[in-house]
Amino acid sequence: MSDVRASAARALVPLLDRRSSLSRIDDADVSPRDKGFMKALCYGVCRTLPRLEALATELLRQPFKARDRDVHALLLVGLYQLYHMRVPAHAAVGETAGAARTLGKPWATRVLNGCLRRAERERVELQAKVDRAPAAALMHPDWLLKTLRSAWPEQWRDIITANNQQPPMTLRVNTRHLSRDAYLERLNEANLSAMPSRHAADGITLDTPVDVDTLPGFRDGWVSVQDEAAQLAAPLLLDGISSDARILDACCAPGGKTAHLLERAPQLDLVALDSDATRLKRVEETLSRLSLRADMIHADARSLDWWDGKGFEALLLDAPCSGTGVIRRHPDIKHLRTPEDIASLAALQSELLDSLWTTLACGGRLLYVTCSVMPEENATQIDAFLKRTPDARALPISAEWGQAAGSGRQLLPGEGNSDGFFYALIEKIKL
């Protein structure tokens, strides 16, 4: 399997250089039976990267040259197998070192073999040494550790523990086709063990993740993959709204919440808006699989050029954010995000709130959502909006999940085995 290790190393290089992300991993040259292993390697390296980088520093006499970033990535792939996977040590060492030949760099075979053999031989001592640094031990960059400790002084360790775990696979049942209980029976018949989600009425969590094509009725639109926390948006927004209301789903891609709104209320007059044409295409494909429709608009939500002037009765703003609530699902966030990103994203969210508020009819409601745990993007953001917007009034969110956070409600990663999300519900009142 040396080829798949080489492919993983190649794929990781642009990510390590902060030029790409896990969502753009290229596995086109990998055989179908090896794609799962490659994904495990790439995601695993990102999840444990601070520790792996510290180990690599200890093992190397000097760093690899810039042109040999693929060899460095291959070393990380080998270390991840040795320290975090159940791959036999001889395979983790031999196959990884041998993959250097596939990269066209046979000289690196000896270097990798020596480093990985030492990593195996001195495993306890090396790990104890690098783990003296909090970033390596907790597998989060220092800036993020500091920020989480400041924002969540009592819960930050639980957040980090959740971030470092692999997430469950959670499904959303399309109740237009069958009930959740009925789908649980279908899963049981397919020998797939699962349990109903605690807070999401349409949610099911699988005991073990599977390929979507093995899910009963997936291609027929019976079910979709969506975390339980994300499934809370549709019922929050639709509560008290007429079944044929005119609704705007701003920043709608990739379309999970869009589809859930329509599954629950197929007669909605729903406008799905996004500034990314490629991602908007994914929304269209999702709705097509589920036999749902919405008016699709490719535009920047900060500009009102796309708007026909007719007010919406409800508005979902699934705002672009740091993604710090979904790190366990997207572990590359720990490497790709910077402290400066939080401020720039908060500024963007503020612009979106001010612009989109104009499109909301009097008496309508806006549901603000992020998959972040940063107060600047969540409670602080909404409190500032309420202060500068006289006709905005926060509505209480009464729920068994999460905790009060300013005028909204915060779910932290791992709580009830869900992702970290923030919700705030705001009503437009008459002055």
CATH number of the domain that 177 lies in? 3.30.70.1170
> Among 225, 258, 289, where does a domain finish?
225
Task: Check whether residue 298 and residue 403 sit in a common domain.
Answer: yes
Assigned domain for 148 exists? no
Backbone torsions φ then ψ of 4, nearest 5 degrees = -70, -35
CB 115 within 8 A of CB 75: yes
Assigned domain for 305 exists? yes
Which band of pLDDT confidence, cut at 50, 70 and 90, is reported for residue 424? very high
| For the chain, percent of residues with pLDDT exceeding 90 | 98
* 11 CB-near residues (< 8 Å, 6+ apart): 25, 26, 27, 38, 42
CB 24 within 8 A of CB 46: no
pLDDT at 49 over 80: yes
Task: Check whether residue 133 and residue 217 sit in a common domain.
Answer: no
Task: Check whether residue 187 and residue 287 sit in a common domain.
Answer: no
Tell me the average pLDDT of the chain.
Answer: 97
Strands 269-274 vs 246-250: parallel, antiparallel or unpaired: parallel
Task: Check whether residue 103 and residue 59 sit in a common domain.
Answer: yes
Provide the pLDDT for residue 2.
63
> Among 116, 138, 160, where does a domain finish?
138
Question: What are the tens digits of pLDDT across the range 391-412?
Answer: 999 999 999 999 999 999 999 9
Q: Rounded mean pLDDT of 219-239?
A: 97
- Residue 373 bridge partners (DSSP): none
First to last CA, the chain: 67
Provide the pLDDT for residue 28.
86
pLDDT at 1 over 90: no
* 295 CB-near residues (< 8 Å, 6+ apart): 269, 270, 271, 272
- Residue 314 bridge partners (DSSP): 247, 365
Assigned domain for 166 exists? no
Residue 53: Cβ-neighbour burial (10 angstroms; 0-12, 13-18, 19+)? buried
CATH label of the domain that carries residue 92: 1.10.940.10
Q: Determine the structural domain holding residue 399 and report its residue range.
A: 230-428
Name the more confident of 147 and 240. 147
Assigned domain for 107 exists? yes
Task: Check whether residue 407 and residue 267 sit in a common domain.
Answer: yes
Task: Check whether residue 221 and residue 244 sit in a common domain.
Answer: no
Task: Check whether residue 285 and residue 388 sit in a common domain.
Answer: yes
Task: Check whether residue 99 and residue 178 sit in a common domain.
Answer: no
pLDDT at 165 over 80: yes
Task: Check whether residue 294 and residue 403 sit in a common domain.
Answer: yes
DSSP states of 262-307 as a string?
HHH-TT-EEEEEES-HHHHHHHHHHHHHTT---EEEES-TTS-TT-
Question: What are the tens digits of pLDDT across the range 79-130?
Answer: 999 999 999 999 999 999 999 999 999 999 999 999 999 999 999 999 999 9
Both tokens of residue 352? Answer: 């979106």
Task: Check whether residue 289 and residue 214 sit in a common domain.
Answer: no
Nearest by Cα to 248 from 152, 368, 336, 413: 368
Which band of pLDDT confidence, cut at 50, 70 and 90, is reported for residue 26? confident
Assigned domain for 165 exists? no
Task: Check whether residue 288 and residue 202 sit in a common domain.
Answer: no
Assigned domain for 124 exists? yes
CB 80 within 8 A of CB 47: no
Assigned domain for 195 exists? yes
Task: Check whether residue 132 and residue 179 sit in a common domain.
Answer: no
Catalytically annotated residue among 46, 115, 251, 371? 371
Q: Count the domains in the chain.
A: 3
Exposure string over 413-431, b if 16+ CB within 10 A, otherwise e: bbbbbbbbbbbbbbebeee
**252 a catalytic residue:** no
